[in-house]
Chains A and B, each alone.
Chain A
Amino acid sequence: MSTPLLQVHDLRVEYASPRGLVRAVAGVSLSLDRNRILGLVGESGCGKSTVGQALLGLIQPPGRIAGGDIRFENRSLVGLPEREMRRLRGNRLSMIFQDPTATLNPVMTIGDQIAELFRWHRPRMRRKEVQTRVTELLERVGIVDADRRSRAYPHELSGGMRQRVVIACALALDPALIVADEPTTALDVTVQAQILDLIRGLQAEHGTAVILVSHDLGVIAETCDDVAVMYAGRIVESGPTAEVLARPRHPYTAGLIASRPSITAPDQVVRPIPGTVPDLANPPVGCPFHPRCVRAVAGCREGIPALSPTREEPRHAVACPLAA
């Protein structure tokens, strides 16, 4: 298994908008092995969700993949006909969305919704077996009394339970990769802890690779092996999670960490990053972070810095000439 499960090379996604072309993803490269959890972290509009959607072939007009390649299980997903993509989606790769209420069909029982996946992707599977698999899946995601609960409608379940059902759907066909886009953002903090435990458990038990998209560095720290920090459509820093969070090199990553009040040190003053995220229809010239960067020098306005490995730890890469 020398080639990674997923290799994204120079991915570009653009949206046509009345204000001009929005480059939501402006050249993202990453790779992911089986059995790993990669976190994509950033603020709204940084392109982290768009990357996730591109992986599942969910970019719709006026958006389009404008360049780059996505290789998954040794085949290219960019330009794959929708019919083929549909065979993969939910099957080899699947997605967990933020809002479980919007993901589930309100007029179908949760058992039927999971069973539908088997009917679609495994048409030969017998009814009885489908029923057994549905019950197993619900048990696996921690729903007690699964047989009876499978006959419940989504509105009869709490938010955390609904998200467990969504995860059961994502797992149903044993995918190699799951993209989870802010899977716990709509949930209470004690429920969030349980769902994150569940996601970690899946990876440990089944070797499923996970891409966890989140705005919350705490969630990333607790769940992911590796992290990629995105800003204005690009990865500005990446590496092993513990290393990146302990020794952030990019001024943006450092700023994000300093922006969060800490419960262990509440007297520590939060240091906000001045300004706001750039308008991607009209991005700043040069390094996209330079207008907000405390360390910016004249050179930062010339050319976009490439993501390059740091000297001390080659797996830790940073897109800032001042920090590398």
Chain B
Amino acid sequence: MLSPVPSLPDQARTESPPDLLSVKGLVKHYALPGRWFGRAGVIPAVDDVSFSIGSRETLGLVGESGSGKSTIGRMIMRLIRPTAGNILFDGQDWLASSGEEFRRARRRVQMVFQSPYASLDPRWRIADIVAEPLRTHQSLPAAELRDRVAGLLQAVGLDPSVADRHPHQFSGGQRQRIGIARAIALEPDLLVADEPVSALDVSVQAQILALLQDIKARGRLSMLFISHDLSVVAYLCDRVGVLYRGRLVELAGTRSLFHAPGHPYTRALLAAIPGSGQRCEASAPSSAAVSETGCAYASRCPHAREPCRTIVPALRPSGSGALIACHRVGEI
């Protein structure tokens, strides 16, 4: 049942059908509290990020804390409003839709959250938690609703008899299964999963990864998979975007990213994975030394030269088919 999905060569993506989700120039600024008599500053949490997700494709977004990966997920879910940029979902302006139109489209995009403890209402029965999206978006007779819930629980590897219990009676892994059952209840086209396995133990993490892999293989689901854990992303994603301080620094097919990382930051991230057998060449991140201009990574980068400190590098195609935002790509 869990046979590995055959992975397409990276180039095959170029002639794939129109994108399900397309994000262009996404920006989110947060205002810093102003000092006395001083001017309030601005933190660019997400800065000019563009990417797209094809039908049945899983795109991974990786980065360290503060890189803006969760903010992007939340903007796609319309939980927070972007400062600038647009999002097209299935060709429609996703941010402009409202009312009934938005309600109808909304069911096609669902989310799995990080904490299986905070994301389920402790006072609700499992049946009600899983049925809520169905009740909101479809009016089904009670018997059919019950069958649908039972089917969903089975699909995520839980016994339908658990429907009458409450969340506290379940382990973290089981709760995450419930969260996934709820997210796939409306058969969405896009699942936004924000660190769905980070709060789980290693052996349970593998169960949830296998479940997501299985759901992916069975349906026509696309996924935005947000994680700080590169090995999990390598396992589940077709393409991967690497974020650093709110900017995409590399976007490439999973295979090429892990075998031939192009951006110095991607290389540092891979080398930092314990057990990778490599030494991390990046210097310590420092909050002070980030320049207003130039590449945000320049202060840590062992390859930084003059243009790196003055001109922001754009995300450009490199020889290998990957998109890389580095002035020195090809030289290093």
Interface residues of chain A, those whose CB is within 8 Å of chain B, are 43-44, 142, 158-160, 188-194, 196, 215-219, 221-223, 255-256, 258-264, 266-267, 269-274, 276-277
In the complex, the chain B residue whose C-beta lies closest to that of A245 is: B275
- Asked if B272 contacts A190 (CB within 8 A), the reply is yes
- The answer to whether B202 touches A43 (Cβ under 8 A) is yes
Q: A263 and B284: CB pair below 8 A?
A: no
Is B206's CB under 8 angstroms from A272's CB?
Answer: yes
Known A-B contacts A158-B287, A218-B275, A263-B276; A190 and B254 likewise in contact (beta carbons under 8 Å): no
Contacts of A223 in B (CB 8 A): 274
Closest Cβ–Cβ distance, residue B61 to chain A (whole Å): 15
**Chain B residues closer than 8 Å to A43, beta-carbon distance:** 201-204
- The answer to whether A44 and B201 touch across the interface, beta carbons within 8 angstroms, is yes
B206 touches A270 (CB 8 A): yes
Report how far A231 CA is from B56 CA in the complex, Å: 39
* B258 adjacent to chain A (CB < 8 Å): yes
Question: What CA separation (Å) do A135 and B205 show in the bound complex?
Answer: 42
Name B's interface SS: helix
Known: A193-B274, A218-B274, A266-B258. A276 touches B234 (CB 8 A): no
Q: What's the least CB distance linking A172 to chain B, in Å?
A: 22
List, sorted by A's number, 23 A–B pairs whose CB atoms are closer than 8 Å: A43-B201, A158-B285, A158-B287, A160-B284, A188-B65, A189-B269, A189-B272, A190-B269, A192-B274, A215-B201, A216-B274, A217-B275, A256-B203, A259-B203, A262-B234, A263-B258, A263-B270, A263-B276, A266-B234, A269-B4, A270-B210, A273-B203, A277-B171
Number of interface residues of B (CB under 8 A): 41
Q: Say yes or no: A222 contacts B274, CB within 8 Å.
A: yes
Closest 8 CB pairs of A and B: A218-B274, A261-B235, A272-B206, A259-B206, A218-B275, A188-B64, A43-B201, A273-B203
Which residues of B223-272 are within 8 A (CB) of A? 228, 230-232, 234-236, 254-255, 258, 268-272
- Chain A residues with Cβ below 8 Å from B275 are 217-218, 221-222
Enumerate chain A residues within 8 angstroms of B203, measured Cβ to Cβ.
43, 255-256, 259, 272-273
Instruction: Give the A-binding residues of B (Cβ under 8 A).
Output: 2, 4, 7, 64-65, 171, 173-174, 201-207, 209-210, 228, 230-232, 234-236, 254-255, 258, 268-276, 280, 282, 284-285, 287
Distance of A217 Cα from B65 Cα, bound (Å):
22
> CB-CB < 8 A to B269: which residues of A?
189-190
Contact of B285 (CB < 8 Å), options: A191, A221, A255, A276: A191
Write the chain A residue with the least CB distance to B268.
A190
Partner of B173, one of A193, A219, A222, A276: A276
**CA gap between A274 and B173 in the complex, in Å:** 11
CB-based contact B202/A189 at 8 Å: no
The residues of B that contact A219 with a CB separation of less than 8 Å are 274
Q: When the two chains form their complex, are residues A189 and B64 in contact, meaning their CB atoms are under 8 A apart?
A: yes
Distance A19 CA – B272 CA, assembled complex (angstroms):
42
A193 touches B235 (CB 8 A): no
A272: chain B residues at CB < 8 Å are 203-204, 206-207, 209-210
Is A269 a contact partner of B64 (Cβ separation < 8 A)?
Answer: no
CA distance A271 to B210 in the complex (A): 8
Name the B residues within 8 Å of A221 (CB-CB): 274-275
B173 / chain A contacts, CB cutoff of 8 Å: 276
Q: Give bound CA distance, A44 to B319, whole Å.
A: 45
Is there an interface contact between A262 and B174, defined as CB atoms closer than 8 Å? no
Residue among B202, B232, B272 with the most chain A CB within 10 A? B202
Which of chain A's residues have a CB closer than 8 A to the CB of B234?
261-263, 266
Q: For residue B202, which residue of chain A has the nearest CB?
A: A259
Cβ of A240 to closest chain B Cβ, rounded Å: 16
The one of A196, A217, A255, A261 that contacts B232, using a Cβ cutoff of 8 Å: A261
Shortest Cβ distance from B278 into A: residue: A193
Is A277's CB under 8 angstroms from B273's CB? no
Contacts of B276 in A (CB 8 A): 218, 263-264
A216–B273 alpha-carbon span in the complex (Å): 11
Q: Which of B203, B230, B268 has the most CB of A within 10 A?
A: B203
Residue in contact with A266 in the complex, picked from B254, B271, B272, CB distance below 8 Å: B254
Residue of B nearest to A143 (CB): B284
Question: Which among B230, B254, B272 has the greatest number of chain A C-beta atoms within 10 A?
Answer: B272
Residue of B nearest to A159 (CB): B65
Contact B202 A193, beta carbon cutoff 8 Å: no
